[in-house]
Amino acid sequence: MTLLGAASDKNVPLEARRRRTFAVISHPDAGKSTLTEALLLHARAITTAGATHGKAGRRGTVSDWMAMEQARGISVTSAAIQFEYHDAVINLVDTPGHADFSEDTFRVLSAVDAAVMLVDASKGLEPQTMKLFEVCKQRGLPVITVINKWDRPGATALDLMDEIKDRTGLLPTPLTWPVGIAGDLRGVLDRREDDFVRFVRTSNTTAAPEERVSAAEAAIEQGDAWSVAAEESDLLHAEHQDHDEALFLDGQTTPVLFCAAVLNFGVQQLLDTLVEFAPSAEARLDVVGDPRPVTSSFSGFVFKVQSGMNANHRDHVAFVRVCSGVFHRGMVVTHSTTGRPFATKYAQQLFGRERTVVDQAWPGDIVGLVNASALRVGDSLFDGDPVEFPPMPLFSPEHFRVVRPQDTSKHKQFRRGIDQLDHEGVIQVMRSELRGDQAPVLGAVGPMQFEVVEERMTHDFNAAIRFEELPYQLARRTDRDSAEVLNRARQVEVLTRSDGTLLALFSTPWRLAALVRENPELVLHDLATAVDPAYT
């Protein structure tokens, strides 16, 4: 080991403690991308935010780099952004907001140490938020709750606290409390400092200043609104709804903050909360459940593969979460799946589409390995002591379509594009001898995934496609003996997924049930869902 490497290794505990790696989870349109930019703005990582007055008037956010994302005002891919705030290094992994991309979001949640649950003040805990919260719960991730859009009419703060407690099982422990009802944003009561943080309206593209006044001044200035907020805060204290760090990290409580991300208010309090309370990078469990200390030799795992992020080059970027040791650009690591060496010559950190070369990375950091076509989602990398981290389960597809090239002369581009999207985990690809290689079947968790496939095939691979919808609703794993029986049945089709798994597709749950009754010897298993065996 070089002297530089030895010196770096000594710094691992300190650098790991500085890292805060988290994801934002929410239902679509709760303001997740807006909050992402507001965080960057307050950390001075950008100078102006892309949001103006809602979806119709906003430019593309920093983390939404696909044309489809910018046009729709939603996130459909995950993006990793790193910035410094005070003495901490923040790794913010943005996630798809739409339920159709739950699989990508689950992968992101495997790579972070905490989650920020963003809740729309007027809508409360929506279905996608709850689905993602359950994944956080399974993974043991501490959750910080942010009530967004307090500048618009919505539910009362106390009602929202009751909903969080009843539906998540977590005890909400607000760190700030709104002064003024939803839609009448005046500021927040800082429950720890017992003072008032006044809302000051500024341009939506600049950080709102934090003006603090004493409780006595706030009582005169805000009158009844302050009195109500103070009384409700006292009520929370009487119910023991005050922050306790041990209970938060143990997954029993969730700190709560109130904000208006589009107005950039309440965002600095969130940054301060992440630095002060969110866990730093710690030992992670390997595939057999043993912890890999951060001070061990380098290790990491791939949680996302993406191509087409650079419009000038058709590169492949593998996003790697560093779990232990020090990553040095150019180091040769071992690819655990194949046992072969893998060179890391092109290592970058990505800020949306902007890239900077990274020479070193520490536990908790996200590194983009460019031209990493050999890596797949779930692969582990290590230097020194071998390690393999838990694999990424595939969700069960519920929508199925045959895909064909519009121009049959572009077979090579078509095949390369479909294989690449399969490699990235954008879609599940299945084939059969009957359909042939020119007409694979695509399986998706949600129909919007097909729109991503269509856009990527057209613009990234110059191979326009057409779809044919199939009348299937669910899939089951099977074996070759059962496949022979199923291939003779009506409203059933057996295909081979690209990983070699035999999948039987059924038209309806009732058709599946009838076949099982008629043929009890059939081997049919549920596909892996959003449950990681290492965490159950």
**Residues of the binding site:** 94-98
Alpha-carbon distance values, 230 to 61, 255, 517 (Å): 37, 18, 63
- Token pair 């999948």: residue: 503
Asked whether 260 and 289 are in contact (CB, 8 A), the reply is: no
Segment holding 535, helix H or strand E? none
The two tokens of residue 366 are 């996200």
d(CA 276, CA 144): 12
Backbone angles phi, psi at 447, to 5 degrees: -65, -25
Residues annotated in a binding site for GTP: 94-98
Nearest by Cα to 324 from 359, 358, 362: 362
Three-state DSSP at 515 gives: helix
Strand ranges of the sheet holding 354-357, from the earlier edge strand across to the other edge: 340-343, 332-335, 380-382, 299-307, 316-324, 366-370, 347-351, 354-357
Q: How many CB atoms lie within 10 A of CB 293?
A: 15
Asked whether 453 and 101 are in contact (CB, 8 A), the reply is: no
Residues with Cβ < 8 Å from 334, sequence gap 6 or more?
Answer: 340, 341, 342, 381, 382, 383, 386
d(CA 179, CA 218): 10
DSSP assignment string, 212-272? EE-HHHHHHHHTHHHHHHHHHHHHHHHTT-S--HHHHHTTSEEEEEE-BGGGTBSHHHHHH
Alpha-carbon distance values, 317 to 7, 313, 321, 461, 515 (Å): 29, 11, 13, 16, 44
d(CA 501, CA 485): 17
The two tokens of residue 12 are 């691992």
Residues with Cβ < 8 Å from 343, sequence gap 6 or more?
Answer: 330, 332
CA atoms within 13 A on the CB side of 338: 9
